[in-house]
Amino acid sequence: ASAVVKLYETITVNYAVYDPTSNAPTATVYLDGKMVSGIAENAVDCQNAGEIIIPDTLSDIAPGGFVNCENINILTVPVSVNAVEGFRGLDNVEIMHLSAGNGQCNNWERASDVPWQNSRYSLISLYIDEGVERIGDHSFSGFFKLENIYFSSDLREIGIRSEERRVGKECR
């Protein structure tokens, strides 16, 4: 079985950014006793992992923050994360969970800015978790293999071109 990169209470990374002024809840990421709000470039090597779980309190991922993501097939990411080019090699995600994050959904100016865009040919199932009220612009534009979308009852709005894809087999 593949390892899981879980960014929870303790993580081992090369670099991390932390915000001492943040009032984030205690279920956050800490490194050396300091709250981590972002991941710097080349901070997390996913080479032996099959899944990435990013907590809602993590807000920023630098370009290339996660590297060697070729074996990742399950991704859990907050809808509010800022991570343009944050994942290198994230080409094979089949299952994705969008969590609520800080409640502020990103609108991407173009589909190529979406952090998980490289998985547009592999993503099959999308789970929109409780607390997600809006999906940002362009979030899933061009995801042609997407077959199953599981909406939470909290979802109220889907941004422009977010749903632009061939019709899948199931939406729940």
**123-154: per-residue pLDDT in tens?**
999 999 999 988 888 888 888 899 999 988 99
* Distance in angstroms (rounded) separating the CA atoms of residues 27 and 111: 31
45 strand-pairing partners: 67
Confidence (pLDDT) at 35: 61
25-78 pLDDT, tens per residue? Answer: 333 455 555 566 778 888 888 888 888 888 887 778 888 888 888 888 999 888
Q: Tokens 């899944």, residue?
A: 51
At 5 the pLDDT is: 53
Q: CB neighbours of 102 closer than 8 A, spacing ≥ 6?
A: 56, 57, 59, 78, 80
Q: What is the pTM of this model?
A: 0.75
* Cα 11 to Cα 3: distance, rounded to the nearest angstrom: 14
pLDDT at 166 (0 to 100): 38
Angle at 124 between CA 122 and CA 130, to 5 degrees: 125
